[in-house]
Amino acid sequence: MSKIIKLFQIFFEYIFDIWQFIYFNRYSPFVNKQKKLFYNLLINAHSIEKGLSLNKPRYLFGKEKIK
């Protein structure tokens, strides 16, 4: 009996993971456009900030991201 319960737990966790991925991913149809743009800006700002924190970045590192 415990194997059946374990199987249901795994199934529901799988469904929950799929729901979280669909809801919280960048291309989610459930999030309005303003939030999507904000999240995109936040991700890009973080990647630029990370690149600027390097000790010796290569020449013109991050130029395409900043454009």
* pLDDT for position 15: 97
Which regions in the chain score pLDDT beneath 50?
none
User: Based on C-alpha coordinates, what's the Rg of the chain?
Assistant: 20
Kindly state whether residues 43 and 24 are assigned to the same domain. Answer: no
* pLDDT for position 18: 94
Kindly state whether residues 36 and 67 are assigned to the same domain. Answer: yes
Kindly state whether residues 23 and 53 are assigned to the same domain. Answer: no
* pLDDT for position 16: 96
Contact 47, 39 (CB under 8 A): no
d(CA 13, CA 21): 12
Q: Which domain holds residue 22?
A: 1-28
* pLDDT for position 28: 81
Kindly state whether residues 23 and 37 are assigned to the same domain. Answer: no
Kindly state whether residues 45 and 22 are assigned to the same domain. Answer: no
- The number of domains in the chain is 2
Kindly state whether residues 40 and 9 are assigned to the same domain. Answer: no
d(CA 41, CA 33): 12
